[in-house]
């Protein structure tokens, strides 16, 4: 081997830069794996951030222990009035603890309180809200929505039991029928409208609305699904 060859170092097979003797070894550059495209990472990060913001918003809406203690010390009549005031803002969830407190006192022996509580429970199951730019349900899960719906039905029956006359029972049944329409139960809505008319035979409008649902189910291709009655409101004390 010539001195010139020794001085220049050993040239690796296939050409390229010679490896110098006595120095640090040449670094081997390894090919990197495929990197995730920014166009994929950015939407994922935004989705995760939106989820975090939604959870924070939900947690912030829960009554703190101090606030719950204040409600529990309220006079039931005052709590009932406060619940109705909150309902004017359509903040159904915020009204619930006040209704629960009202039911523990004299208002709990009145059909109106159970009636209004039933409506608020039902309204919450159908409410949507905008959080972090996303339209989400006001309920925290499907399980909670079903539980609220079941509780609403129970409160309607409590209101019927406490109703002083047929006209009041007819009004309660009409609301319950409307709720069943919103939930998509036409047969149950028909039966409840019939019960409303039977409670107050002067309410021919309730009989007619029940007949419309019957016609819909007998001839589904000729009639469209009936829309709920948007005129229904809370029963103010």
Mind listing the domains of the chain with CATH numbers? 61-162 (1.25.40), 166-230 (no CATH)
Task: Name the β-bridge partners of 91.
Answer: none
Please answer whether residues 15 and 8 qualify as being in contact, where contact means their C-beta atoms are separated by less than 8 angstroms. no
Determine the pLDDT at residue 53.
44
- Those residues with Cβ within 8 angstroms of residue 119's Cβ, 6 or more apart along the chain or in another chain: 152, 175, 232, 234
Determine the pLDDT at residue 207.
92
Determine the pLDDT at residue 30.
54
Q: Which burial class, exposed, middle or buried, applies to 218 when counting CB atoms under 10 A from its CB (0-12, 13-18, 19+)?
A: exposed
Please answer whether residues 77 and 102 qualify as being in contact, where contact means their C-beta atoms are separated by less than 8 angstroms. yes
Determine the pLDDT at residue 21.
53
Instruction: Tell me the per-residue pLDDT of 69-122, one tens digit each, with 9 for 90 and over.
Output: 889 999 999 999 999 999 999 999 999 999 999 999 999 999 999 999 999 998
Determine the pLDDT at residue 181.
84
Q: Which of 116, 88, 123, 91 is nearest to 99 (CA)?
A: 116
- Which parts of the chain register pLDDT below 50? 18, 32, 40, 49-61, 231, 237
Number of Cβ within a 10 Å radius of residue 102? 29
Determine the pLDDT at residue 229.
60
Residue that has been written with the tokens 């939930």 in this structure: 183
Determine the pLDDT at residue 139.
79
Determine the pLDDT at residue 37.
54
Determine the pLDDT at residue 52.
40
Number of Cβ within a 10 Å radius of residue 160? 18
């Amino acid at each position: 081997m010539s001195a010139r060859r020794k001085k220049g170092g050993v040239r690796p097979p296939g050409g390229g830069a010679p490896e110098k003797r006595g120095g640090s070894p040449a670094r081997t550059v390894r090919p990197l794996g495929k990197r995730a495209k920014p166009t994929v990472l950015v939407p994922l990060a935004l989705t995760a951030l939106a989820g975090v913001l939604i959870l924070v918003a939900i947690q912030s809406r829960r009554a703190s222990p101090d606030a719950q203690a204040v409600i529990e010390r309220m006079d039931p009549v005052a709590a009932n009035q406060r619940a109705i005031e909150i309902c004017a803002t359509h903040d159904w969830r915020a009204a619930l603890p006040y209704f629960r407190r009202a039911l523990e006192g004299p208002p709990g022996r009145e059909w109106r309180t159970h009636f209004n509580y039933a409506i608020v429970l039902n309204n919450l199951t159908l409410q949507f809200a905008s959080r972090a730019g996303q339209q989400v349900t006001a309920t925290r899960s499907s399980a909670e929505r079903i539980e609220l719906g079941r509780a609403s039905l129970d409160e309607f029956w409590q209101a019927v039991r406490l109703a002083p006359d047929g006209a009041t029972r007819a009004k309660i049944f009409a609301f319950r029928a409307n709720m069943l329409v919103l939930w998509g139960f036409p047969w149950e809505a028909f039966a409840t409208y019939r019960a409303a008319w039977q409670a107050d035979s002067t309410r021919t409008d309730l009989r007619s609305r029940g007949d419309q649902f019957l016609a819909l189910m007998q001839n589904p291709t000729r009639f469209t699904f009936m829309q709920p009655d948007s005129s229904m409101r809370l029963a103010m004390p």
